[in-house]
Structure 1
Amino acid sequence: MYDLQTLTGFDLIIDARSPREFKEDHVPGAINLPVVFDEEYAEVGTTHRTDPMRAYQIGVAYSLKNIARHLELPFFQTSKRATILVYCFRGGKRSKLWTDALETIGYKVERLPRGWKGYRNWVRETLEQVPTKMTFNVLSGPTGCGKTSLLHALRKAGAQMLDLEALASHRGSIIGGIPGHPQPSQKYFDTLLLDEISRFDLAKPIWIESESKKIGQVQLPTSLFEAMHRSRLFVVHTPMSERVAMWHREYPHFAEDPVGLIEKLTYLKPLVGGVTIDRWKELAERREMDALFESIMIDHYDPAYTRSTNKNYGKTGETTAIHLDSLDSDYLAAVAEGLLAKGDQLSAPSLV
C-alpha cells in the first residue's frame, strides 16, 4: 500500500509512459520523459501481436535513443547525486530501462511499486476512505450568490478550503464550462483531489461548496458526496443586483454572445416552458443582459437549486444563514473573519 511518503522527498519524478498516458493521469509533480512516444508505442504494440521478440527489439532501440535525448536536459547536466523516482504503467520494462541508465550514471533511483496502475488503485481506495474522516462546512445558495468568492475569502482568513470547481475546471452547470480551460480526465481529477485533501488537518473542518455528483464531465467520489450531505449547511443569501454583477464577471463570454448562451439552454424547454425560452431569446437578441441573467436565475437556477438542496440536505437539521450585502472583496474578507471568529458558536444555527 502506498502512503504520501512514497511520493515525496525526490528531486525528480519521471513518468516513463507515453504522452497520451501521461495526459490522462500522472503522479503530481511528475514530468513526462517517455521511453517511447505515442506512435512508437503503437508500433511496438502492433508488432508484438505477431513477433514479440522483434517488438522488444524495436522498443529498446527507441528507448535508448529517447533516453539519450532526455539526458541532455539541464537537470542531468550537474554532478549532483539526485534522488529520482521512476514509474511506468505497472513498474515493468519501461521504468527498468530508465532505472538502469540512471543508476549506471550514479543517481539514487527508486521505482514506484506496481507503477501507475498501483498508484491509481491507491488513489481510488484512499478517496473512498479519507472523506469519511473529514468534517465539512458546506456553503449552499443559488448560482451567482458568491459562494466561491466567499470560499476564497475564508482561505485567505486561514480556513481550510476545498474548491472542487477549480479542480474540475468547471462551474458546475450546463453553462459552467470555462473557455480555454478543458476539464481534466476523471482519473486526473481524482489525482488532483487527493493531492489537495492530503494537505488538510482532518481534525479541523474544511469549507466546501455544495455541488452535484457531477461537475461537468467529472464525478465526485461517492464517499465525499455522502460526507458533504451529512455536514453543516451554510445558506448564502445575496441581493439579485450583486448576483447579476457576479454573472457578468464569471460569464463575460456569454455577455459577448448571448444568443450562444440561449442555444445552450434550449434543452431546458421541458422544464421552464416554451414561453420562458422565447422570452430569453428576445432578451438575448436585444442584448438586455441584466434582465436576461436575472430571468435565467429566477426561472430556472433558483428553483432547481432549491429542489436539489432540499433533496440532499433536507435531513441535516443544522442550517446557518449568511446574508451578504455585497460581493466586494473587502466585505467578504470581513464576513470570513467573522465566521472563523465564531468558532464553536457555529454549532448552533445563527444569522451572519
Structure 2
Amino acid sequence: MNHFKPPEFTFDFSKYDLIIDARSPREFEEDHIPGAVNLPVANNEEYAEVGTMHRTNKHGAYKIGVQYSLKNIARHLEETVSKYDATSNILVYCFRGGKRSRLWLDALETIGYQVERLPGGWKKYRAYVNEQLAVVPAQFRYNVLSGPTGCGKTRLLYALEACGAQVIDLEEIAMHRGSVIGALPGTPQPTQKLFDSRLLQKLQSFSNDRPIWVEAESKKIGNVQLPDALLATMRKGAIIPVDADMGQRVLLWREDYRHFEEDPQALVGRLEYLRPLVGGKELDEWRLLAEERKIPELFERIMRNHYDPAYARSTQKNYPGIEKLDKVFLTDLSHDGLLPVARTLIEQYASAD
C-alpha cells in the first residue's frame, strides 16, 4: 500500500512521543502541529510584556523573558514532561525555531531526553502545510455523497467508515454542519490554519490505492474554506446521489438540531436573511409555526421551500448530469440501518474501479 511520506525538509511527526509547542497559548490556538502539547515558555500576558519591552530595552526584555521561561519550564517539567521516561523521543518547536524552543531544548538535553528542535519552527511547518494542500488532495480518488439536507449523508459516511472505507468528514474537521444554521452550540470553529493542519493530517493517514468517501460541500464550511485542489478533485470524482423519505429527514433534524427544536424562534431568526429569496409570506409562515411549536411542520417546510431548491441549484452547477444517476434511497437513517447500504456501496464501487 502506498502511504504518503513527509518531505525531506520536515519531520515525521509520528515518531515522537511528545511534541512541545513552546509558543504562547494564543499562537497555539491559531494553529499547531496536530498532537502537539502547548507548554509555553511565556503565557499570553508575559509574551506581550516581553515583546513591548523589546522595542526599547532588548537586554531587559531578554532578562525578564528568561525569568518567565525558567519558571514556566520548571512547572511544565513537573506537571507534564515527568510523565515521559528517558527513552521518549521529544520534538520542540516555536515560531521560527529560535530562542523559545532553544530554552526547552537545553533543559531537556540536560535532563537526558532524546530531543530535537524543528528547523524553521511553526513558520516553516505552515509553509509545508500550504504546499502539501496544493498537491496532496489531487493524489486521491473521491466517492462523493450528494443529497439534500437531512437525508443522512454524514451518517452514511460513518457507516462506510465502520465497514472499512476511507472516510473524511469535512464538517467534523470544520466543527460546523455547513449551512447558515450549521454552527455547533458551544463549539467554536477552528481557525483556517488549524483546519488546514487537521485536514492535511487526515489526508496523509490514507492510502492512495483506495478511494476516499466524502460528502459534497461548497467552497466554505462556516468560516473556513476548502483547498482549491481538494474541491476541484472532488468534483471530478464519482458522484453518488443520496435521498431519504421526508419523515426520516425531519426525524434526523429533530435529533441533530435539538437546540432549534427547543428554541425554534432562534432558527427562524437565523434564517431572516432569506426574506428576499423566499419572500416575506413564506418567512411569516415559518415564524407562525415556530410560535405554535409545530416543530415537524416547521422543519419540513424549511427543507421543502428553501433547502431543497437551493440544493438542486447547487448540484446542477457543480455536478451537471447528476439527475441522470440512480439514487441511493435511504429508508432507515440509524447506524444499524445504514450498515447494509454501506457494504453494498463499498462492493459496488470497488468493482467499478
Correspondences of 1:86-105 after superposition (within 5 Å): 86-105=92-111
Correspondences of 1:120-269 after superposition (within 5 Å): 120-269=126-275
The separation in 2 between residues aligned to 1:325 and 1:29, in whole angstroms, is 39
CA shift in 2, pair 1:77/1:203, >3 Å? closer
> Which 10-residue stretch deviates more, 169-178 or 53-62?
53-62
| Correspondence for 2:328 among 319, 322, 329 | 322
Residue type of the alignment partner of 2:197:
T
Offset from partner CA, 1:195-225 (integer Å, 9 cap, x none): 1111111111110000111001111011101
Q: Return 5+ residue gaps in structure 2 as ranges.
A: 1-6
Q: Return 5+ residue gaps in structure 1 as ranges.
A: 348-352
CA contact (8 A) 1:170 1:215 kept: yes
CA shift in 2, pair 1:80/1:250, >3 Å? same
* 1:132 CA drift (Å): 1.0
The separation in 2 between residues aligned to 1:316 and 1:116, in whole angstroms, is 43
| TM-score after normalising by structure 2 | 0.95
CA contact (8 A) 2:23 2:40 kept: yes
Hey, which bits of structure 1, 4+ residues long, moved more than 6 A? 315-318
**Corresponding position: 1:13 with 2:19:** yes
Alpha-carbon RMSD: 1.7
The separation in 1 between residues aligned to 2:84 and 2:295, in whole angstroms, is 58
| Correspondence for 1:310 among 290, 306, 316 | 316
The separation in 2 between residues aligned to 1:5 and 1:40, in whole angstroms, is 30
- Match of 1:286? 292
CA shift in 2, pair 1:40/1:289, >3 Å? same
Residue type of the alignment partner of 2:266:
G
The separation in 1 between residues aligned to 2:126 and 2:72, in whole angstroms, is 26
Offset from partner CA, 1:83-104 (integer Å, 9 cap, x none): 2100000000000011011111
Residue type of the alignment partner of 2:196:
D
> Which 10-residue stretch deviates more, 115-124 or 335-344?
335-344
CA shift in 2, pair 1:196/1:100, >3 Å? same
The separation in 1 between residues aligned to 2:39 and 2:284, in whole angstroms, is 54
CA shift in 2, pair 1:73/1:219, >3 Å? same
**Corresponding position: 1:28 with 2:39:** no
Offset from partner CA, 1:260-293 (integer Å, 9 cap, x none): 1100001000110011001001111111111100
The separation in 1 between residues aligned to 2:333 and 2:20, in whole angstroms, is 43
* 1:105 CA drift (Å): 1.2
CA shift in 2, pair 1:338/1:315, >3 Å? closer
* 1:53 CA drift (Å): 1.7
* 1:316 CA drift (Å): 7.7
Correspondences of 1:17-56 after superposition (within 5 Å): 17-56=23-62
* 1:77 CA drift (Å): 6.0
CA shift in 2, pair 1:74/1:162, >3 Å? closer
**Percent of aligned pairs with the same amino acid:** 56
Offset from partner CA, 1:55-82 (integer Å, 9 cap, x none): 1111111111111121212532665232
SS in 1 for 2:16: coil
The separation in 2 between residues aligned to 1:157 and 1:82, in whole angstroms, is 35
CA contact (8 A) 1:24 1:188 kept: yes
The separation in 1 between residues aligned to 2:225 and 2:8, in whole angstroms, is 23
CA contact (8 A) 1:235 1:322 kept: yes
CA shift in 2, pair 1:201/1:79, >3 Å? closer
| TM-score after normalising by structure 1 | 0.95
* 1:161 CA drift (Å): 0.5
* 1:318 CA drift (Å): 8.2
- Match of 1:75? 81
Aligned residue pair count: 347
**Corresponding position: 1:108 with 2:108:** no
CA contact (8 A) 2:18 2:36 kept: yes
The separation in 1 between residues aligned to 2:211 and 2:275, in whole angstroms, is 40
The separation in 2 between residues aligned to 1:316 and 1:134, in whole angstroms, is 21
* 1:328 CA drift (Å): 2.5
CA contact (8 A) 2:241 2:322 kept: no
- Match of 1:350? none
Residue type of the alignment partner of 2:344:
G
Residue type of the alignment partner of 1:205:
P
CA contact (8 A) 2:137 2:229 kept: yes
